[in-house]
Structure 1
Amino acid sequence: MTITTIILSALLMLAFLGAGVGKLRRAEPVTGTLEGLGVTPGLQQLVGALEVLGALGVLIGLWLQPLGILAAVGLVLMMIGAIIFHVRAHDTVKNSVGALVLLAFSGLVLSLQLVIA
């Protein structure tokens, strides 16, 4: 495992842990944005839980690589879903940048995990 993979995995874990906890706590800036995209409160809770689990999976994946790979795949798929919600809602690129950055970041960590597999 390279130091780059460890650092980027830890940063990805922190990003998704923060995003997931915000959704689970129903933090106002988060819920307002998601409701504007057509995401129901139940789906927000599900996404928040999956983001927290994905974050933990990426962290644990530093020791159990198959779990890290699966968690990163899950996070990539979730961000693809997020982008689909942004596109369907005709959201601006400015409002969609977070999902795009997290998609790229998740994809990078996934590729690093696969290269060292």
Structure 2
Amino acid sequence: MSVAHVVLAVVSALWVGFSGVSLARRAEFVTQPLVDYGVPRAWWTWLAVAKLAGAAGLLVGLAVPAIGVAAAVGLILYFAGAVLTNIRARSYKTVPFPLLYLVPVAVTLGVGLAA
């Protein structure tokens, strides 16, 4: 495990964790787009839990690599789904926002697998 992987995993986990906490606290900058895209409110808690579990998994993955890989893959799929949701809603200007979370997680996974 390289220093770069550890730093990327911690920064990515904090970044995704921030997003999860923001959704759990129902921050308007997170929830308003969900309303606009038609995401049911009943899903919001589960989406926040998925982000928080993924963030925790990235950190646990520093000790148990298989969990880190699973968490990273799960988060990549989560944020790819967010990109598709934006596209489906024809909100093309907001497509970059989920990519701001997807890319660091994908880089973390790549560096971790290369190490």
**What is residue 55 of structure 1 aligned with on the other side?**
55
Deviation of the 1:22 alpha carbon? 1.0
Corresponding position of 2:5:
5
Aligned equivalent of 1:107:
106
CA–CA separation in structure 2 for the residues paired with 1:17 and 1:63: 18
Map 1:90-101 → 2, pairs under 5 A: 90-93=90-93, 95-101=94-100
Could you say what secondary structure the match of 1:63 adopts?
A: coil
Q: Which amino acid aligns with 1:81?
A: G
Give 2:44's aligned amino acid. Q
The sequence identity of aligned pairs, in percent, is 30
Amino acid at match of 1:106: V
- What is the deviation of 1:60? 0.9
Matched-pair contact (CA < 8 Å) for 1:38–1:85: no
Superposed CA RMSD in Å reads: 1.0
8 Å CA contact 1:12–1:105 kept in 2: the answer is yes
Once the two structures are superposed, residues 50-98 of structure 1 have per-residue CA deviations (whole angstroms, 9 ceiling, x without a partner) of 00000000011111111001000000000110001000000033x2212
Moved more, 15-24 or 107-116: 107-116
Match of 1:23 in 2: 23
The runs of at least 4 consecutive aligned structure 1 residues that moved more than 6 Å come to none
Q: In structure 2, list runs of 5 or more residues that go unmatched.
A: none
Using CA pairs under 8 Å that are at least 6 residues apart, name the structure with larger relative contact order, 1 or 2.
2
Structure 1 gaps, min length 5: none
The separation in 2 between residues aligned to 1:26 and 1:40, in whole angstroms, is 13
- TM-score normalised by the chain length of structure 1: 0.92
1:69 match: 69
